[in-house]
Chains A and B, each alone.
Chain A
Amino acid sequence: MDVISHFRQESRTYAALGFVAICVIVLPVVIDSIWVKVLTSAVIFTLAAYGISLLYSQLGLVNLSQVALIGVGGWIMLRLNYAVQLPFELNLLVSAVITAFIGMILALPAMRMKGLYLALITLMVAGGFQIIFSAIQFPNGGAGFLGVALQSPGEMRRPLIAESDTAYLRYSIIVVVLGVMLAAAHNRGRPGRAWAMIRKSEANAMAAGVNVTLYKLWCFTLSGFLAGVSGGLLAGALKILDAKSFPAGESILLFALSIVGGVGHWMGAVIAGFLYRVVPAIFNNIGIDADLSLVIFGAALLHAIMTAPNGIAGQLSSLFQSLGRQNK
């Protein structure tokens, strides 16, 4: 690497570190309690958005089931919380691993598909989870495997070092940064090289000895892992989860915002999380209907698609058109 690009790399790293430091140290102090909650969930959704971004930027794969997988992670986290007396971190890890596994299984039939067809399959998966969630609800400490009671008899525990909302915001930021670093390490290493080659040409990747199916699954699994961590963190943040919070439409929205935010860079995911959670809250706060944010997101998406550098734009816009018609 020459000196200049090395310097650029370093300054980028410092910029990222600076950004994180501001978030961890300054933000929780200067904002009041409502905004701490809003920001916490923005941070949490950032990680899930990064999973979407990973699949899309590395392999060009559209994942419209990420919010559903967040729900899965959250469900497992709550389930574990009431079933076992293990530390928060361990439950979080187990939730993420199981979610990753479920994400992988769901990706299996989609392996041979691309573009619009894959997107539609993932959307069907999201729709499936929407139905499952409303049927089984989220555990709140009740009896039995589903653990649902009319009134919550228990409480979702938080990590010992992060009981308060402010501390939990800091905690979430750190976990999300670790998650993003995990994915970034993949990008820089062997999987990233294989993904880049697959994206260029599956045939060429195979000819170079890359197990294309395995690496595609790996990317889905990693993305599912990040969704699982998000879900677990969300369970800790909100303490109860509502089945109505994870409809298929939210997955589409988060995907769209990830595109708007910009795929392939952590900042894009941060923007996506911010747009997804903070913008509607701001609108609420100043007395504008939060649904108006959808109009703005739509315009932003249109802009992103029209100026998108890679040619999936046409595909996506027709996808969203057909989805729009379905929702009517």
Chain B
Amino acid sequence: MKLFRAFFRSIRDAFKSVVRNFSLSLASISCITITLIIIASAILISFNVKNFTTEIENDVTIVVFLDYDVVEEDRINFENEIKKLDNIDSYTFKSKSEVTQEMIDEYDTFGEILSSWEENENPLKDTYNIKVLDVNKIGETASLIKKIDRVSLVQYGEGLVEQLLQVFGAVQNITIIAAVSLILVTVFLIINTIKLTIFSRKREISIMRLVGASNSRIKFPFVIEGIILGIIGSIIPIVFTIWGYGSLYTHFGGQLFSPIIKLVKPMPFAMYTSAILLITGVIVGMIGSARAVRRYIKI
């Protein structure tokens, strides 16, 4: 019963303190808000860049065209050869007629032209779509495939793919490094801001001790206060994430510059990010105040 009372009184005291020490609270809250916005930006950017990379990696295929006049035997030979290569993930075969059918489905005008051809007149070739395991070695693999018998042409968007991946890799590394260092700096700032606000209440703490408050009874409201500051401090960053990222996504139509660079869908991504922000805010607020009071609570 006494414990219950102490618990509720502590929570009440914490709210009182946040409101009545408004300017101090505001300092801590804005500090937390700024940090969390940085964290939010870092998460949004790095996950998107990661998404670009995986999307592109998934999209990248080596297209192999065999000679016009290949027979079943040549195809079996080709498949055996590529199975020997170690960077091959999977391959799919499309015969001439399938390719034709696809083109007819896609473009009406092609249809008229193509359907007029006889089977042996068909200028299209049997093709293989090959997925590789390591996109970074795609050039090497392509040239090996090129050497196989009866291969007419190998295509994989050479140059572009490698460059894009390099750029994204760099961007991702930079955001991670920037985010981690900024987060460290600002977490340090928050903890110090909270410490300062509590330092200014050192006298209050000593008075509480003087009139018979136990250490936990002094500490608990401060910890709750830290949590409240953390929650309030994460409101703007969460709005920034959910609403801001949502409208950014809609504005760009879900892609950046070109359809192959796809943005991460806002739901549930923005929700997870918000949860991370809220938890971070609460933990940082809590740790900041708990550590600060502990210094003044010793007798």
| A-B interaction | no
State the B residues within 8 Å of A (CB).
none
State the A residues within 8 Å of B (CB).
none
